[in-house]
Chain A
Amino acid sequence: MPEIAPKKSSRYISKDIESLLNQATSHQVWSSWQLALFRIAFIFFALLVVPVKWEWYQRFFSGKTLFEFLSPLTGVRPDLITIQSESGRWGIASYATWGIALLIAVAGASIWTFLARKSRRTEYNTLYYWIVALARYRIAIGIIAFGFLKTFPMQMPYPSLANLNTGFGDYTAYKLYWQSVGVVTWYEIFLGYVEVVGGFLMFFRGTAALGAVINAGVLYNIAHANHAYDGGVHVYSAYFVLLSLFVLAYYAPNIWKLLIKEQDVIPQNYAPQPQKKWQRLVLLGFKYSLIFVFVVVLGYIRYDMHYNQGRLKEPVKPGLTGAKGYYHVTAFKVNGQEIPYSPLDTVRWQDAIFEKYSTFVFKVNKPVNIDLANGVPQTKDVDRTYEFAGEGGGRRFFYYDADTVKHILYLQDKNTGTRRNGEGRESRRTEQVKEKPRTKLVWHYSQPSESRFIISGLNEKKDSIYVVLDRIDRNYALEISRGVQ
């Protein structure tokens, strides 16, 4: 026969509260190891959050537009050290900054503990609150800015015609990952909103724990995926996981007590309680102007950049009217001599594509230098490389200006063959320094029928080519909805 536990009645409750209050006040005294651990954590997280590099301040103060001013704030990375090796870029050594910060924190905390040896201080509740608040705001502005890249779906564009016609094995993993998200725009937008909401929750004490859980989960997934696909932003994503866990740790003892130990809890966390009205106004004013700037203003800037200015990864200038499509190469002549199609031929084109924007693509069985950069947004169409970044298969990508009166295409090779390292956004500036001059071609074109183009001119080797292209109107399985089969 199971034992019957005595029922609790309301009489006991007042006693419960009394004992809880006692516990809560006794909790205010920290043990010496808690004090020491806190000093380490304080220095460590302060180092990770507050920009310490001179270059950052230079960039920050040289911002000419509001965006250039905000962007260093949302995207500051605690790069104390960069190790020049494969592991330093892709592997465990890329986390070296964290190790250095920890070393400095331990050393600093030792000095701090030594200096404070005579202090009668028994807790750091106030300081703990503020360092957690700092972490919360850092996460909030960073992740909201991250999220806006997807809510205004810039980060992962929908696959281009060339992307659709490239073999799965001719992609790098990182490109496949981004492209798979880009396939479903609403899903990308949703993922963006998860980040924006998760970041927004960090602004408020009451929702910070939930926000920290969401952000730790989402950013863990992003960080691990960046390792899994060599996406290159693993450290920056893991950084937010670390900060989120630090915030969560602030709330964890109470959650543990309530759920695991099954004890009633009266939260006794410190919160600033400004006595004077002006103090309150200043604090709240500061908080809500931060929220206004990093949510509303930055959101509008991102919206404007995406939909109005077209600062994108993909070109925006429309291609030749009515040309968009995938083309078979029906005839191909070099210096007047016809070359029949063979998949092994290294001169003859195998197919050609006019994208909806002004990019012309053709495929040859000949190796090309693969662009291994991320293909970040650029201001000029000719510099926008996302469409072929991380992609092989022998395709050549040309930006073109068309003279529709004289029927001439002025083409420029988009792949300069210089972005050949898997760089993240840190090295965006060095990318441009190394640029080589582009190959330029001038071709005549004619359109004898709606679906046929004839191209003639000189190729890179100054041989004259004559190409007949026939458009193939076709569906792609990727665009089939199984619901309407």
Chain B
Amino acid sequence: MAKHILTGNNTEWKRYELNAFRFAFIYFFIQAFPLSWRFYKDLFTAIGSGFQFQDLFGLTTYMPRFFPKGSISTTGFAAYADWGIVLLIAAGGAIIWSIFDRDRKEYNQWYYWLRVLLRYRLAIAVIAFGIIKLFSIQLPPPTISDLHTNYGEFLPWKAYSLTTGVASAYYEPALGLIEILGGVLLLYRKTISIGAGLIAAFLINVLLANYAYEIGQQVYSAYLLVIAFFLIWYDTPRLFNLLVLQKRASANRIKPIITAGRWAKARVVLKSAFVVFILLLGVATYAGHKKDRFPFPENNGLAGAEGYYNVKKFILNNQERPYSFTDSLRWQDMVFEKWGTISIRSPQRIKPDLSTPEIISLQTDLERNYESAGNAGRAFYSYQIDTLHHKLSLQNKNKNYEEEKWVLQYNRPDSVTIVLTGVNQLKDSVHVVLNKVNRKYLLKEGRRKPIKI
């Protein structure tokens, strides 16, 4: 640690302050600095794949992990098990450190640089989340399948995500801009508390919404929130003096005065790297989203088929089945998305995909499960088209039904009718006649004018 790059008062710290700092330093350093080989492996994957935004985004969500994914509960207190390990290391480390560094009077330098690390760690996280909100990738608008799913058939997180997804008036992009603004304010020493305060206010709501709707990102939100609080802590006494006690408040006097030399060069390099990464993430996210429609599948669906269909006729194993509420084998309606996904509603109860879609790496169309996860009302199939033989190869997207596959011959006698014939992996055969229904949606009509629907 270079000694001479800070100016300010070198008042002596109290004993408990020194001890608390040693503990905090180790704790936050392990939490924020990527020490795991996993991070560098992912970094090289991201470079190797030509900077796909999903890979880049995945890097920004780094947290040290001691228990492999899936080995600990994702809910309740146990979800924080990794933090427990970090706490133990920090406690042990702080004891050893205090023995070897007995004569220390203050850690102003260390404190400053720890805050630098945490500022950048937090900034990169919230800016990355800001970017995916700015382009409405995190919470996209509902699909046709969503519009035809009953409210009660969604897991809470899905109802919450879709509700945010229907917002107009640039609501979601504005939330993203607030996160980006908070992140940018962290980059300037004088606006740290304002930025961290903004982010903390935002993250308190994110954290609680994560618990309320079981969104599944509560540990990461709490991780960022703790960092934000730690950053605010520094200015809290002076703000408390100024605003609450309304008495003399002394300003911060500890500032870097790096003007030349190795440290100045290192600073320029690191700051540039940060800015380049953010710009890269922003551009890659915008371009990637435009190109591949993430979080929805990239490949186009059957041309001109997009829409909602009534299953007019349904023949299973050569037996016609009439419309029914109770016949769990009878398909009721079907949706062709713009991309290669079909969804089917039938009275059969579906075990929903309980996973939370995360943006951690580039995914194939089949793996892109945002549209199907958390939906218990419809069965989702990813499909490939063989236009030469008029064949669709369907694969159920839900992990609980991954063995389910259909090969269906399609025939389109007119623009509103699709006839599908084929078999599944159990050799059940179907023949269905689909009729496109031109539906008006109240969601799209809105409340501004009287409507009968």
Chain A partners chain B: yes
Binding site for B on A (CB under 8 A): 1-5, 7-8, 17, 20, 86, 89-90, 159, 163-174, 176-177, 179-180, 183-184, 186-187, 190, 205-207, 209-210, 213-214, 217, 221, 224-225, 227-230, 251, 254-255, 258-267, 269, 328-329, 340-344, 350-351, 367-370, 372, 390-393, 420-422, 474, 476-483, 485
Say whether B310 contacts A343, CB under 8 Å: yes
**10 other contacts beyond A265-B242, A420-B451, with CB at 8 A cut-off?**
A2-B5, A172-B446, A173-B167, A186-B212, A206-B246, A258-B239, A259-B191, A264-B250, A481-B214, A485-B354
Bound state CA distance, A183 and B161, in angstroms? 13
Say whether A482 contacts B450, CB under 8 Å: no
Say whether A227 contacts B169, CB under 8 Å: yes
Binding site for A on B (CB under 8 A): 2, 4-5, 7-10, 73-76, 142, 146-156, 159-160, 162-163, 166-171, 174, 190-191, 193-194, 197, 201, 205, 208-209, 212-214, 216, 235, 238-239, 242-253, 255, 257-261, 263-264, 310, 322-326, 332-333, 349, 352, 354, 374-377, 439, 441-453
In the complex, the chain B residue whose C-beta lies closest to that of A423 is B447
Say whether B243 contacts A370, CB under 8 Å: no
In the complex, the chain A residue whose C-beta lies closest to that of B73 is A483
Say whether B169 contacts A173, CB under 8 Å: no
Bound state CA distance, A89 and B246, in angstroms? 43
Bound state CA distance, A187 and B209, in angstroms? 7
Nearest Cβ in chain B — how far from A62, in angstroms? 31
- A392 and B442 in contact, given A173-B166, A207-B244, A369-B450 (Cβ under 8 angstroms): yes
Say whether A167 contacts B325, CB under 8 Å: no
Bound state CA distance, A176 and B243, in angstroms? 40
Say whether B148 contacts A169, CB under 8 Å: yes
Nearest Cβ in chain B — how far from A185, in angstroms? 9
Say whether A177 contacts B163, CB under 8 Å: yes
Nearest Cβ in chain B — how far from A463, in angstroms? 22
List of B residues within 8 angstroms of A2 by Cβ: 2, 4-5, 257-261, 263-264
List of B residues within 8 angstroms of A183 by Cβ: 156, 159-160, 213
Say whether A168 contacts B162, CB under 8 Å: yes
Nearest Cβ in chain B — how far from A89, in angstroms? 7
Say whether A258 contacts B451, CB under 8 Å: no
Say whether B263 contacts A478, CB under 8 Å: no
Interface centre among B197, B246, B352, by most chain A C-beta atoms within 10 angstroms, is: B246
List of B residues within 8 angstroms of A168 by Cβ: 142, 146-151, 154, 162, 443
List of A residues within 8 angstroms of B159 by Cβ: 180, 183, 478
Say whether A254 contacts B242, CB under 8 Å: yes
Q: List 19 A-B contacts (CB under 8 A).
A: A2-B4, A2-B257, A163-B152, A168-B148, A173-B447, A174-B447, A206-B245, A221-B205, A228-B168, A228-B169, A255-B243, A262-B255, A264-B250, A265-B249, A266-B249, A267-B242, A267-B247, A269-B246, A485-B354
Say whether B151 contacts A166, CB under 8 Å: yes
Say whether B238 contacts A372, CB under 8 Å: no
Q: Which of A89, A228, A262, A476 contacts B153 (CB 8 A)?
A: A476
Say whether A228 contacts B171, CB under 8 Å: yes
In the complex, the chain B residue whose C-beta lies closest to that of A344 is B310
List of A residues within 8 angstroms of B216 by Cβ: 482
Nearest Cβ in chain B — how far from A257, in angstroms? 8
Bound state CA distance, A344 and B326, in angstroms? 17
In the complex, the chain A residue whose C-beta lies closest to that of B435 is A344
List of B residues within 8 angstroms of A255 by Cβ: 239, 242-243
Q: Which of B5, B209, B374 contacts A477 (CB 8 A)?
A: B374
In the complex, the chain A residue whose C-beta lies closest to that of B312 is A344
In the complex, the chain A residue whose C-beta lies closest to that of B356 is A482
Q: Which of B152, B171, B209, B257 contacts A5 (CB 8 A)?
A: B257
Bound state CA distance, A480 and B373, in angstroms? 14
List of A residues within 8 angstroms of B242 by Cβ: 254-255, 258, 265, 267
List of B residues within 8 angstroms of A261 by Cβ: 251
Nearest Cβ in chain A — how far from B376, in angstroms? 4
Q: Which of B197, B213, B257, B442 contacts A391 (CB 8 A)?
A: B442
Bound state CA distance, A207 and B244, in angstroms? 6
In the complex, the chain B residue whose C-beta lies closest to that of A367 is B452
Bound state CA distance, A328 and B2, in angstroms? 76
Bound state CA distance, A154 and B160, in angstroms? 20
Say whether B453 contacts A262, CB under 8 Å: no
Closest 4 CB pairs of A and B: A169-B147, A164-B152, A422-B447, A228-B171
Say whether B246 contacts A482, CB under 8 Å: no
List of B residues within 8 angstroms of A350 by Cβ: 325
Say whether A90 contacts B190, CB under 8 Å: no
- A159 and B446 in contact, given A8-B253, A328-B325 (Cβ under 8 angstroms): no
List of A residues within 8 angstroms of B246 by Cβ: 205-206, 267, 269
